[in-house]
A and B are shown apart, each in its own frame.
Chain A
Amino acid sequence: MRLLPPLLAALSLAGCATAPSDALRGTGDLGVVIERAAGRVQIVEHSGDTRLATVDGLGDLSHAHVTFSRDGRFAYVFGRDGGLTKVDLLARRIDKRVIQAGNSIGGSISQDGRLVVAQNYEPGGIKAFDADTLELLAEVPAEYAPGRFSKVVGLADVPGQRFAYALFDASEIWVTDFSDPRKPTTTRYPAGKQPYDGLVTPDGRYFLAGLFGEDGISLLDLWKPETGAQKILAGYGRGEEKLPVFKMPHLRGWSLAAGQAWLPAIGRHEVLVADARSWQESGRIPVKGQPVFVMARPDGRQVWVNFAFPDNEWVQVIDTVERRVIHTFSPGKAVLHMEFTPRGEEVWLSARDSNRVSVVDTTRFAVRKELPADAPSGIFFTSRAQRIGF
């Protein structure tokens, strides 16, 4: 009996070490910062701009992507090594983890929140998992010709339990319907050469695949898929020799602002602007380097741009009404990613080689806070859980 009190004390201490101190809280202001070299994520919150916890053991996070459960409690982290880790943001620990492929690039969650779908380079294809248990439900190999598999890019959830994605090696867009999760059906659409990434517009209607192998964007109207993919912004390079691309741009549904789509040019130091009704080019904005992320503030009044190596210390802000760069600054060395708070009053920027995340006021461009992080890359807030295509 005498042993019991110390034992209880030890147990309760052990409990304290893992359990969050503020046990009852919401999830709407939570997020995840990837520490890519360490295979670790930070759990952060943007009401007070603080780090809440770190979670280790997520494997190779050199190209990590995150999607969230619809209740904002779980982050599904896709690692380069094919690891899929379900992180509990409230308990601040790994809930489940599977190695689902040899080489993965990201993933997305279904309209009903029950399926998590991973997109893979090796073996090329997509896989659907039960969002609760991570049990494998179905697999769609990207076999575009007998024995030939493509790397899959640009996976985006679209309404109707469907996922749209592009095949880099096959120059096609595929749409897979998981209405029957164990028996998916896939429709193929020829697209432009070497799609490198894709996005779906916030209403879930248009899937756009950026092309590396030619100047232009492939666009599929998911409300009229029978018309097939058409090419927009064709020949934007005007036949001029491309500048080298030292990092591939990334597309996602943040590209629409002020009735226009704002897209990175490939091999040109420009942001392309297209009317989001007619899809005709309506302008282009010269910028400091090869754009990687061209990201609209949630209200659409600003578009923020970061750049590929060797211009990756810079960030530029475009005013979408004036259609010009209104601010240029460097939040640190090797700026890899940006994430806006849900209503856009601040943006978080990761500077890999400065080992920090900067929180910047989007009105005055003042640095509100700097948070230390070990070679941070992606920053993902739970507000993505409520958006189509994230």
Chain B
Amino acid sequence: MYRPLLIHVAVLLGLTALAVGTAQSAEPAPARQRELIHLVRQDCGSCHGMRLAGGLGPALSPARLADWPDDSLVATILHGRPGTAMPGWQRFMNEAEAGWIVARLKQGFPPLD
């Protein structure tokens, strides 16, 4: 009697789980996110400032980054910028993680715990 409804619900739940799963796989796990936030604020912060307001390196505020394409910012993080003091950080993160950092920078970067 309730079987068709149950199947319906099961399919919906499965689809929802799949959607959530896909969204999460594009994002680093929460523990890794905390590591990346720490890295950006503390170690990128050596040059860009802990509040990312700039220093020897430029400010990394949403306003300043808005006009830069994401892929060029990802490339800058991973490979650095020759002729400047910006080194490449590819030893410490993969492309998806650099992309996550770029997206967060453009929104306003999360604070340290």
Interface residues of chain B, those whose CB is within 8 Å of chain A, are 42-43, 45-47, 49-51, 53-56, 80, 85, 87-89, 91-92, 112
Q: Cβ of B50 and Cβ of A36 under 8 Å apart?
A: yes
Q: Which residues of B contact A168 (CB under 8 A)?
A: 56
Report the number of A-B residue pairs with Cβ-Cβ less than 8 Å: 61
In the complex, whether A271 has a CB less than 8 A from a CB of chain B is no
In the complex, whether A73 has a CB less than 8 A from a CB of chain B is no
Q: Cβ of A121 and Cβ of B42 under 8 Å apart?
A: no
**Of the candidates A62, A246, A248, A334, which one forms a contact with B49 in the assembled complex, judged by CB atoms under 8 Å apart?**
A62
Q: Cβ of B49 and Cβ of A63 under 8 Å apart?
A: yes
Q: Cβ of A244 and Cβ of B87 under 8 Å apart?
A: yes
> Which A residue's beta carbon lies closest to that of B47?
A248
Kindly state the separation between the CA atoms of A105 and B51 in the bound complex, as whole angstroms: 14
Listed from nearest, the 4 A-B pairs whose CB atoms lie closest are: A62-B50, A244-B87, A247-B46, A309-B43
Kindly state the separation between the CA atoms of A334 and B88 in the bound complex, as whole angstroms: 20
Q: Which residues of A contact B80 (CB under 8 A)?
A: 244
Q: Which residues of A contact B112 (CB under 8 A)?
A: 37
Q: How many A residues touch B, CB cutoff 8 Å?
A: 27
Q: Smallest CB–CB gap between B50 and chain A, Å?
A: 3
Task: Offer 19 A-B interface pairs, CB within 8 angstroms, sorted by A.
Answer: A37-B112, A60-B50, A60-B53, A62-B49, A62-B55, A63-B46, A63-B55, A80-B49, A80-B55, A103-B53, A105-B55, A121-B55, A153-B56, A244-B87, A246-B43, A248-B46, A309-B46, A310-B92, A353-B42
In the complex, whether A245 has a CB less than 8 A from a CB of chain B is yes
Contact with B along A75-116 (1 / 0, CB 8 A): 000001100000000000000000000010100000000000
Interface residues of chain B: helix, strand, loop or mixed (majority): loop
Q: Cβ of A196 and Cβ of B50 under 8 Å apart?
A: no
Q: Cβ of A196 and Cβ of B43 under 8 Å apart?
A: no
Contact with B along A151-167 (1 / 0, CB 8 A): 10100000000000000
Interface residues of chain A, those whose CB is within 8 Å of chain B, are 36-37, 60, 62-63, 80-81, 103, 105, 121-122, 151, 153, 168, 194, 196, 212, 244-248, 309-310, 334, 352-353
Q: Which residues of B contact A63 (CB under 8 A)?
A: 46, 49, 55
Q: Which residues of B contact A122 (CB under 8 A)?
A: 54
Kindly state the separation between the CA atoms of A279 and B7 in the bound complex, as whole angstroms: 83
**Of the candidates B42, B50, B89, B91, which one forms a contact with A80 in the assembled complex, judged by CB atoms under 8 Å apart?**
B50
Q: Cβ of B87 and Cβ of A37 under 8 Å apart?
A: no
Kindly state the separation between the CA atoms of A196 and B55 in the bound complex, as whole angstroms: 12
Q: Smallest CB–CB gap between A173 and chain B, Å?
A: 17
Q: Which residues of A contact B43 (CB under 8 A)?
A: 246-247, 309
Kindly state the separation between the CA atoms of A309 and B39 in the bound complex, as whole angstroms: 10
**Of the candidates B45, B89, B92, which one forms a contact with A62 in the assembled complex, judged by CB atoms under 8 Å apart?**
B45
Q: Cβ of A196 and Cβ of B49 under 8 Å apart?
A: no
Q: Smallest CB–CB gap between A149 and chain B, Å?
A: 14
Q: Cβ of B56 and Cβ of A62 under 8 Å apart?
A: no
Q: Which residues of B contact A194 (CB under 8 A)?
A: 85
Q: Smallest CB–CB gap between B53 and chain A, Å?
A: 7
